[in-house]
Amino acid sequence: MAQPFEITIHNRYSNKKMTEKVYGAAMVEFAYASVFGKLLAPLISHRSVSQFYGKRQDALKSAKKVPVFINEFDIDINEYEKGSYRDRPIEESYKTFNEFFIRAFKPGQREFVTAPEKMGAFAEARYFGYDTITPELMIPVKGDFLRAVDLIGKSELAQKFEGGPLLLARLCPVDYHRYHYPDSGETISSFEVPGEYHSVNPLALKHRGNIFIKNFRRVSLLKTENFGELAYIEVGATCVGKIVQSHDESKPFSKGDQKGYFLFGGSTVIVCGEPGKWKPSSDILANSEQGIETYIKLGDEVAELARS
């Protein structure tokens, strides 16, 4: 019998490797590792399926899942704000599962690194990072699937990011699902790239290496104060009901401001940079070379300016 697929990540804070407990692991195994699941892939990855499942998380009865979910995945719920029902215990305070899913941290629970030469983590997530993306790169998937031109979808806009650094932040269903700006600046432009809604779980990537360029994406080109131009890419995934932009992109933003959030589902945020401008943090680079993601809390350092 085949051994179950395990996801090993490195926890920056304990400095230890750990095995990730995957929400919906059996379904991911079925959809991407079984013959029958592969036949159903076009249906599973269709936008309407993810939207339908996402809407179910807005039903009032979906709130019943919250206490079970918190307990099963050992979530420190006291780090977060209560939901709509302020007079109830926090695990019973959320009106729907989606309200719980996009829960906000209490003030002071997370702070962005203040040094201007340090980039703050734009999501609380598991990170891969690379100094330079080349076609020869084989971790975690073939490098040509991570080229800026493929991710951004418009060759004329992607040219300045080819050969530059990249950070890939994978958010699990158990995570905080709001994402933020890594530096202060302004939005140059933003647009959507149509696509499918495959899982971004490493098991799915093992069987379908082109997920990041096949899935629906929303791209924002940002002009930042310290890190040059960035391509900020939000990737839709299976059961992500919606990607919501909460910041008015016609206005400037400050480091750490919330940019938006994902409704139910695991998701990914990718940030591409200009060649030579900055590089991912050393532990992210070292772990990525081994094919291992690094768990990093929102706002902590994920990159620094390149030394000239």
pLDDT tens by residue, 134-187: 766 555 544 445 677 777 888 889 889 989 999 999 888 889 999 999 999 999
Same domain? 170 vs 292: yes
Residue, of 127 and 39, whose pLDDT is higher: 127
The phi, psi pair for 272, rounded to 5°, reads: -105, 145
Helix, strand or coil, per DSSP, at residue 141? coil
Could you read off the pLDDT of 247-272 as tens digits, one per residue? 999 999 999 999 999 887 658 899 99
Same domain? 50 vs 133: no
Task: State the sign of the Cα–Cα–Cα–Cα dihedral 186, 181, 146, 241.
Answer: negative
Query: Does a structural domain hold residue 186?
Result: yes
Helix, strand or coil, per DSSP, at residue 170? strand
pLDDT band at residue 1 using 50, 70 and 90 as cut-offs: very low
Query: Does a structural domain hold residue 12?
Result: no
Query: Does a structural domain hold residue 11?
Result: no
Q: Which residues contact 155 (CB under 8 A, 6 or more apart)?
A: 149
Task: State the sign of the Cα–Cα–Cα–Cα dihedral 81, 85, 88, 89.
Answer: negative
Structural domain including 76 reads: 19-101
Structural domain count, the chain: 2
How far apart, in Å, are the Cα atoms of 202 and each of 54, 128, 308? 21, 12, 35
Same domain? 201 vs 74: no
Same domain? 156 vs 58: no
pLDDT band at residue 114 using 50, 70 and 90 as cut-offs: very high
Where a domain ends, among 46, 66, 101? 101
Counts for the chain of helices (H) and strands (E), in that order: 11, 15
Question: Per-residue pLDDT for 109 more than 90?
Answer: yes
pLDDT at 131: 92
Q: Which residues contact 111 (CB under 8 A, 6 or more apart)?
A: 256, 299
Same domain? 74 vs 173: no
pLDDT at 34: 54
Same domain? 198 vs 82: no
Same domain? 184 vs 138: yes
Residue, of 84 and 203, whose pLDDT is higher: 84
Q: Which residue has the tokens 């996402």?
A: 54
Question: Per-residue pLDDT for 51 more than 70?
Answer: no
Same domain? 218 vs 299: yes
CA geometry: angle 284, 289, 291, nearest 5 deg? 90
Polymer length of the chain: 308
This prediction has a pTM of 0.83
